[in-house]
Structure 1
Amino acid sequence: MGNNWKILGSELNDPDVAKGLENSLNGLIIGEKDYDSVLKGLKYPEFLQKTTAEKAGTYDNQPNPGHEKNDKGHLGDPLFKNLFPEGKQIEKFDLSPNFGTEIEGVQLSELNDAAKNDLALFLETRGLAVFRKQDFRDKGPGFATEFGKYFGPLHIHPVSYSAQGYPEIFTTIRKGGDGSRYDAVFQRKSKDIAWHSDISFEEYPASFSFFVALEAPPSGGDTVFIDLREAYRRLSPSFQKYLETLTVVHSNLYQRKAAEIRGQLLKIKDVSTHEHPLVRTHPVTGEKSLYFSRGFIQKIKGLKSEESDAILSFLEDHVTNNPELQVRASHRGTESGTVIAWDNRFLLHTATSDFLQYATGPRHHFRLTVLGEKPYLAEENKQNESENERPRAY
């Protein structure tokens, strides 16, 4: 393995690449010139609202001090009796032994507070839950934001489209179309993935994300996840200890630049750049994990560029190229009513573009992003769980 670290998006500094992006379908967000035509064909147009000139640069995100003590997972039942009540027909299938579970028989919109507390703890132990046959999207953006706010303040994304009147809702969209989409995306590159933990560039990054399918291709366009707890455990103790001394700089500089090239107005005026430990402690389980948000990492603070690049290159290979650390959450088309929920504090994820060579409708989702605590590394004697005592979700 060579030293091949490159900041994601830094290729936009090349004028030719930036010009190509203007006419490309690449990225999570459609271009400004496509907005009106795409909006007309959507099943849920209320979940695609662009930022107006009057609102551009007028939003900001609130701080969230003390979340490590107020996380709803602290109130959850370790046996999840409220989320999976006795006598109710619920089917669960583990996507892997270590993390990720697919669930049928639980309706998120009907959960009471006790069940939501269990859901928080479930995500903090299993990491990822894929819920089928949900009515969440039909409840409207007002209901969605109130649901999300139970777990903490909701993030306002600086770049994304949102829902009408609800800037906290993050909307992602890929146009419907035919194989010409494939040619546009892969003309200049051979893959279209961007591993990241949601909004790691913020001072208070995400705890939970709830990703709601509005429209989805019949197959493909799935979301793949990586378990950063297991990535940390696989390292030698000596290397773990060294990584625990390091701080990483995260920024949304190039995400913003890509949006500006596409002609979008941004909700938040300033670039967000913050420093976080490379190894973090979970506030509820006490487990350690890498905090390697590939898409937003700029460098390791205090190291020479060659040193930083070498470590980040190693971690990219170690984290993203091992299928033993990964599971795939499928969206299964529009009719499945899928909602995917996860804990960003120890999971990475990426969308996949494996459907673009086929004729499909749009891939249209919205996301609720809950603000968590400032990432921190606790003292060793404050760890609540050892490697051999990790809780199982049920």
Structure 2
Amino acid sequence: MSIKPIQIGSLTCIPLHPTFGAEIRGIDFSRPVPDSVIKDVIAAQDRFGVTVYRNTGLDDQSHVAFSYQLGQCEMSPRLQGPNQPPRFSEPELFDASNMDVHGNLIKKDTRRWWFTKGAALWHTDSSFNQWRSKYSLLLAHEIPKKGGDTMYADVRTAYNDLPDSKKAEIEDLVVCHSIWYSRKLAAPHEFGNATEYEMSQKPPAYHKLVQTTADGRKTLFIAAHAEYIVGKPKEEGVKLIDELIQHCTQPKYILSMKWNAPGDLVFWDNRCTMHRATPFSDQIERRDMRRTTVLDDSPSSHGVDPATLKL
């Protein structure tokens, strides 16, 4: 593929894949980003879906501050129990590491260790919330020597390549999303029955399967949290969901992003991509990743009211 740079306002964009993804240069994170540059950042994001910023120098505070320039941020869920202390003082930061609050490696086969296994499935951040997310911004603080990359799928192009008959079939479908469903897929023996506290913290959410993105293109809102299709027999709905995920994750739609160093930031749009983590030696090496999640402000941001559905 051609890697000819593309200029978007003040930013230089180096494409990373024929259809999506770019490394972005020309932004100074050592000071608050001007509003004029934020407009360029959003324009680049709308075009590429996944954008990579190297050597940002961001810390927890500036990471959160930059995220708020893009919209209202989601508070990180406390899924591990009300008495479990957070690792960060900023409530917006989601802990995507393999460490506990003291910086120790999470031991294999513990409930927290199994919970992280869901990140290896193709997923869309926070699709299990009724108010869905728009952007995720993942910042590296410590990376392993080998592995631990992040893979992305271009769901806009994958949708566009579907046969017209399939597009017509799925146009008006609504999907139930549940974090406990994806965790059960990843670790059925551990999450076959979520606790009462866990269920109360994250009930299911309902979203249209076919969505329209910021650039006016249609896409699929799907992935591992998608449990069933409303109004279809469960087995039939699961089969269709699996079929669509397999279609979207063909090699031609995939970008694998290598983390080079602490300070790397990857910023993606959950409404037009799926992603997953790749393995690394998590019982030997530390991988400290911290994520902010910006809430969606589009017309379909709050999904489908379950009261209007025949569940």
TM-score of the two chains, using structure 2 as the length reference: 0.77
Distance 1:351 1:375, change over 3 A: farther
Q: Which residue of the partner structure matches residue 306 of structure 1?
A: 235
Q: Which residue of the partner structure matches residue 54 of structure 2?
A: 132
Unmatched 5+ residue regions in structure 2?
1-5, 80-84, 302-311
Distance 1:375 1:266, change over 3 A: farther
1:164-192 superposed Cα distances (whole Å, 9 cap, x missing partner): 332111111125999x969xx999xx997
1:334-373 superposed Cα distances (whole Å, 9 cap, x missing partner): 3xx211111111010011114448x43x100111100003
Distance 1:344 1:162, change over 3 A: farther
Q: Which residue of the partner structure matches residue 8 of structure 2?
A: 80
Distance 1:79 1:300, change over 3 A: same
Q: Please list, as runs of the form range in 1=range in 2, the aligned pairs for 1:165-184 lying within 5 A after superposition.
A: 165-175=89-99
Percentage of matched positions with identical amino acids: 29
Match status 1:288 vs 2:218: yes
Q: Which residue of the partner structure matches residue 304 of structure 2?
A: none
Cα contact 1:158–1:266 (8 A) shared by 2: no
Q: Please list, as runs of the form range in 1=range in 2, the aligned pairs for 1:185-264 lying within 5 A after superposition.
A: 193-254=120-181
Match of 1:341 among 245, 256, 267: 267
Match status 1:157 vs 2:76: yes
RMSD of Structure 2 on Structure 1 (CA) = 3.7
Please state how far the C-alpha of 1:195 moved relative to its aligned partner.
1.0
Match of 1:276 among 187, 191, 207: 207
Q: Please list, as runs of the form range in 1=range in 2, the aligned pairs for 1:39-50 lying within 5 A after superposition.
A: none
Q: Which has the larger Rg?
A: 1
Match status 1:143 vs 2:62: yes
Unmatched 5+ residue regions in structure 1?
1-77, 85-91, 378-394
Distance 1:330 1:197, change over 3 A: same
Cα contact 1:80–1:122 (8 A) shared by 2: yes
Distance 1:109 1:209, change over 3 A: farther
Match status 1:98 vs 2:19: yes
Match status 1:121 vs 2:43: yes
Distance 1:324 1:255, change over 3 A: closer
Cα contact 2:118–2:183 (8 A) shared by 1: no
Q: Please list, as runs of the form range in 1=range in 2, the aligned pairs for 1:20-35 lying within 5 A after superposition.
A: none
What is the DSSP-based 3-state SS (H/G/I as helix, E as strand, rest coil) of the residue aligned with 1:108? coil
Distance 1:171 1:356, change over 3 A: closer
Distance 1:373 1:273, change over 3 A: farther
Q: Distance in 1 between matches of 2:23 and 2:281?
A: 22
Distance 1:264 1:106, change over 3 A: farther
Distance 1:162 1:191, change over 3 A: closer
Q: Distance in 1 between matches of 2:131 and 2:118?
A: 30
What is the DSSP-based 3-state SS (H/G/I as helix, E as strand, rest coil) of the residue aligned with 1:121? helix
